[in-house]
Amino acid sequence: MSETRVFLLPDLGEGLTEAELVSWHVAVGDSIEVDQPIAEVETAKSAVEVPSPYAGIVAELHGKPGETLDVGKPLISVTPISSGAGVSADDAVPAEPAQPAVVPAETELAEPKPANAEAEAYREEEKAGSGNVLIGYGTPGGHAAAKRTRLPKASVSVLEPAETRPADKAADDLTLLRTRVPGKLGAVISPLVRRMAREHGVDLGELHGSGESGLIMRRDVEKAISAPVVEPAETKPAALVKPVETKPAPVVEPAETKETQGRDARTGLAISSRTPVRGVRKVVAATMSRSRSEIPEATVWVDVDATGLMELREGMKAGGAAVPGLLAFIARFVTAGLKKYPELNTRIESAEDGSQEIVGFDGVNLGIAAQTDRGLVVPSVRSAEKLSARELDAEIRRLTDVAREGKATPTELGSGTFTLNNYGVFGVDGSAAIINHPEVAILGVGRIIDKPWVVNGELAVRKVTELTLTFDHRVCDGGTAAGFLRFVADAIENPTTLLADI
């Protein structure tokens, strides 16, 4: 019987050191395939499925749902199946008398392969595939349902993976980095496809896969080899891109609450529960604490007559056109304001000698604060200054949806340069928000309500909201912050004029 292999919890990106085990997709005794999803884990960034790099029988599950596991610790133990066991009659390949039996690997085209040297080389690369992938991620396609089977009594020799040359492995790893789909643990290219592309000089980074989640298949490489010219993929504006349909996020049980009969020494009251601070809540707590301790912040605010913006949207609705949400218009004004006042779209970096630099950016990644069941997260619209109000509206909705499903990628959650926070949806007028470190400013928008307002010397009822800007006093003074806030307020009050200029 083959030696049991232990798969360690991989680094799930962004240097995260732990993850909460949400659920197992397999059980002890199940037969699993290479790259089959075996468990769902939740990190401080998102919920992801972890694929197995090994095929065989599940020998042990190292953890229970709800437990927090450290990266690098055992996740699952798998006992490999000898190549003659667990294969259906349709899939089996007759073994030659003096040769070890080889189980044919599943190909993209689902065609049986002859038991020749090429087929054996393919099998060897497929066996080595997941072991070569970075941070434990596997290749897609291993989504077969788990099936229970008994370990075979007799063991048949299995071909070991062929040794990979260092240069080829380095090239494969580089290709993998360029072609892995963010947020999709399984969306990587199989070793066979990578080898075929390398031998024919095909740049996988330029291909658009036809497989699930954009996976580059063998047929995509063959098409690129046969085609003399590869036309660039058509790029559509963000507003016209239909959000990717995703499966509903699995129900996650509330954080484990430990009942206790103890009594609090300070208050004298009985302690009813203890809730561990972990996951997103742990990251939010750390970020907010660091922001408060490092950033000398100041806050300015202004009441704004939003009647003009509301009337503009009503007029667009009457014309039958698709109308962006109010937040999309405000986001458009914010990006224009940051172009005029770039000091608020920066970051402070400290050197080892204690010196500091203000780092500016050529572009705006606009963070949108979103409240989810997992806590407050801030996915960002990349290069938001290049998008129209309609395009911003589509991207904001998409990011909000994936964030609430726990499927936002680390890049989407960690690349912002300025944050827009719409806390008016909670029915409040204002808030001195905490800056999302390492950014240097955050703009909050309160609810829009009817208020008495003086218009042309007369009292009138207008739609009024409050804008609140919290900024890092190290990067600018009150004049810059007030100028930016006034720019956005004027744009809301006179949207038709300012939209024509920006």
Which active-site residues does the annotation give?
473
Estimate the share of the chain in helix, then strand, then coil, as percent rounded to the nearest 5.
30, 20, 45
**What DSSP element (H or E) covers 148?**
strand 147-148
Taking Cα atoms as reference points, which of 316, 304, 334 lies closest to residue 448?
304
Q: Are 148 and 32 in contact (CB under 8 A)?
A: no
Strands laid side by side in the 68-70 sheet: 47-51, 37-42, 18-24, 68-70
Q: Are 82 and 154 in contact (CB under 8 A)?
A: yes
In degrees and rounded to multiples of 5, residue 57 shows phi and psi of: -105, 130
Q: Are 399 and 382 in contact (CB under 8 A)?
A: no
Strand 418-422 relative to strand 366-368, pairing: parallel
Strand 441-445 relative to strand 418-422, pairing: parallel
Q: How many Å separate Cα 244 from the centre of its chain?
A: 13
Q: Are 12 and 71 in contact (CB under 8 A)?
A: yes
For residue 474, count CB atoms less than 10 angstroms from its CB and return exposed for 0-12, middle for 13-18, buried for 19 or more: middle
Taking Cα atoms as reference points, which of 444, 257, 280 lies closest to residue 375?
280
Any idea which residue has 């980074």 for tokens? 205
Instruction: Give the integer Cα–Cα distance in Å for 172 and 139.
Output: 13
Tokens of 215: 């996976």
Three-class SS of residue 399? helix
Instruction: Give the integer Cα–Cα distance in Å for 247 and 219.
Output: 27
Q: What is the DSSP letter of 238?
A: G
Q: What is the dihedral of CA 13, 18, 21, 27, to 10 degrees?
A: 80
Instruction: Give the integer Cα–Cα distance in Å for 302 and 308.
Output: 17
Taking Cα atoms as reference points, which of 219, 194, 183, 188 lies closest to residue 12?
183
Instruction: Give the integer Cα–Cα distance in Å for 376 and 374.
Output: 7
